[in-house]
Copies of this chain bind each other. A is one copy, B any other.
């Protein structure tokens, strides 16, 4: 594991990611460039200029909350993020690309094929953020009556992972690759095999239809801090998202998942822990506050409430004031819900305005580059090894971060000054291109790797 923080630019192919209303800020480009490739290519170039590790795309395939509010704010618009990556790869050399993919949206045979192709075309710069879709609306777009329990979703996810590991790790040995024009042998059938998976939900004959890509399995990211989510992260994740209210609670969660990883036969450092932050930077604290005040004057409370309702799986606009928030069921994103709860005294029942206020300030750093670096070091000391840099106004927020904060982080040795050559996995973990031998995915291999 690196001593420098892994830094991901964190965005979504939508007008309205985490801070609703920001597309109205004068220097944001969404209203004219959401669907234009050029502005996304610029974003990739900016990220690589700052030696950031990846651009990571959040995604959704259905959203709760208030339909009308969602449409008015553009929250319901979720273009396919994988369609940006091939083009972004042509204007960068080192930047990684992490794409969120739900077990619900793609059949594992097809997901495996797409990921392997992207990994080939980017020369091994692909990560996959495995999610299980938390909203009823997503499941109803794919023929299901609603969202299953965490446990059921993760049982599904476990089989899904089994299928893709069989395809990525088990179907082709390294020794299969021949590509010999003299003998006319493209590949050696003695080293390619069907997977013949027969499971609860999937039956897949195979073989995998893409020959081994530089990383084979993409770097596995995961989000979800429910009980089942933590176990999944500890088993499969090479990086996991957390959403903690402060460094202290982050440490508790990180220590817990690390212990689970060790129980699964892995090393505590085999996983990165990343949390999303919004940075508003000024050369003085006053300037930063002024910028923040201007940005937040565009905050769309209705949109914030609607998006948050979707996240936590309950309609916050219809809160019953007689029931304390802590007693609500929470089928949605546990981490976000917990972070809100933690902001209020036990038993206190906040108003919607108070909840939105807490949400909009979640992970928000306003200040000079030095102040921001100080705060990041506090998180780093608590065990955080990666950060996701949110981009409330595209692309200007990332320009600010790269041009003002990154130099200070580099000066302190918190962020890298240059890229490690090679695949994303090598850049992150320093060693091989492929899953380490203690990772569950490696157990599906049939022959030793030629270049482990």
Contacts and interface: CB of A to CB of B under 8 A. Distances in A.
B206 A80 contact: no
A342 interface: no
A21 interface: yes
B209 A300 contact: no
Given A67-B189, A72-B189, A83-B121, A77 B209 contact: yes
Interface residues of A, number: 75
Interface in A198-235: 202-207, 209-211, 213
Nearest to A38: B90
Contacts of A90: 37, 41, 87, 90
Interface string A13-37: 1011000010110000001100111
Interface stretch (A103-111, A344-352, A381-389): A103-111
A74 B209 CA distance: 10
A187 interface: yes
A179 B179 CA distance: 52
Contacts of A155: none
A210 B300 contact: no
A354 interface: no
Given A31-B181, A72-B187, A189-B72, A203 B83 contact: no
A184 B107 contact: no
A143 interface: yes
Contacts of A298: 184
Nearest to A24: B181
Nearest to A116: B79
A40 to B, nearest CB: 8
Given A77-B209, A105-B107, A106-B110, A15 B86 contact: no
A293 interface: no
A103 to B, nearest CB: 12
Nearest to A32: B179
Interface string A63-83: 000011001111011111011
B205 A77 contact: no
A15 B413 CA distance: 46
A187 B74 contact: yes
B61 A109 contact: yes
Interface in A167-209: 176, 179-181, 184-189, 192, 194, 202-207, 209
Interface in A232-269: none
Given A13-B117, A90-B90, A77 B204 contact: no
A89 interface: yes
A300 to B, nearest CB: 6
B141 A205 contact: yes
A433 interface: no
A75 B169 CA distance: 20
Interface string A113-153: 11011101100000000000000010011110000000000
A171 to B, nearest CB: 10
Contacts of A105: 107, 109-110
A206 B204 CA distance: 28
A161 interface: no
Of A21, A78, A143, the most chain B CB neighbours within 10 A belong to: A143
A179 B77 CA distance: 12
A1 interface: no
Nearest to A214: B35
A84 interface: yes
Of A37, A41, A141, the most chain B CB neighbours within 10 A belong to: A141
B143 A79 contact: no
Interface of A: 13, 15-16, 21, 23-24, 31-32, 35-37, 41, 60-62, 67-68, 71-74, 76-80, 82-87, 89-90, 105-107, 109-110, 113-114, 116-118, 120-121, 137, 140-143, 176, 179-181, 184-189, 192, 194, 202-207, 209-211, 213, 298, 300
28 contacts: A21-B184, A23-B181, A23-B186, A31-B180, A36-B121, A37-B86, A37-B90, A60-B209, A71-B188, A72-B184, A76-B187, A76-B209, A78-B209, A78-B210, A79-B120, A80-B113, A84-B86, A84-B121, A87-B87, A87-B89, A107-B107, A107-B142, A107-B143, A109-B141, A140-B205, A143-B203, A143-B204, A184-B300
